[in-house]
Amino acid sequence: MNNTKKQYELTIKGKIIIVVAAVFVIGLIIFLLIPKGDDITRISIEMVSPNEGIVIDDPVLGMSTELKVGKKIKLSSTIYPENHKNIETEYIVENPDIAYVNEEDMIVGKKAGKTKLYMTTKSGKTVKSNEIEITIVD
């Protein structure tokens, strides 16, 4: 009687198939466990194109800006998570006598003073963006 044991060795092709299957299973588990972003978690507004006569204290954070009467700054917004591209939002200027946002998403200085600018969702769960303090000077 022959008591030899057969040993099987995986070929390189077999090893690749096992690794690909393991990566697929891990990716599927991660996909199922990560929240899908049903709710907006954050809105960020930034100033993207400063115009003549504007001094931005912190262009990255957009914390405060000085703007001359009649001058404009182009605004941009990002909604997180990014799968909410079509959500309706609106810019809010706390004191519209000082500044306003036009149809081209530009903040325009009306008269000297200070106001704050932020953005919110129009419906559903309201999420408020970061605030930008705007100082309008003559």
pLDDT digits (tens, 9 = 90+) for 119-133: 888 766 677 788 888
Number of domains composing the chain:
1
Position 63 scores a pLDDT of 63
Residue 100 confidence class, pLDDT cut points 50, 70, 90: very high
Position 1 scores a pLDDT of 57
Q: Is the peptide bond before 81 cis (omega within 30 degrees of 0)?
A: yes
Residue 16 included in any domain: no
| CATH code at position 117 | 2.60.40.1080
Residue 23 included in any domain: no
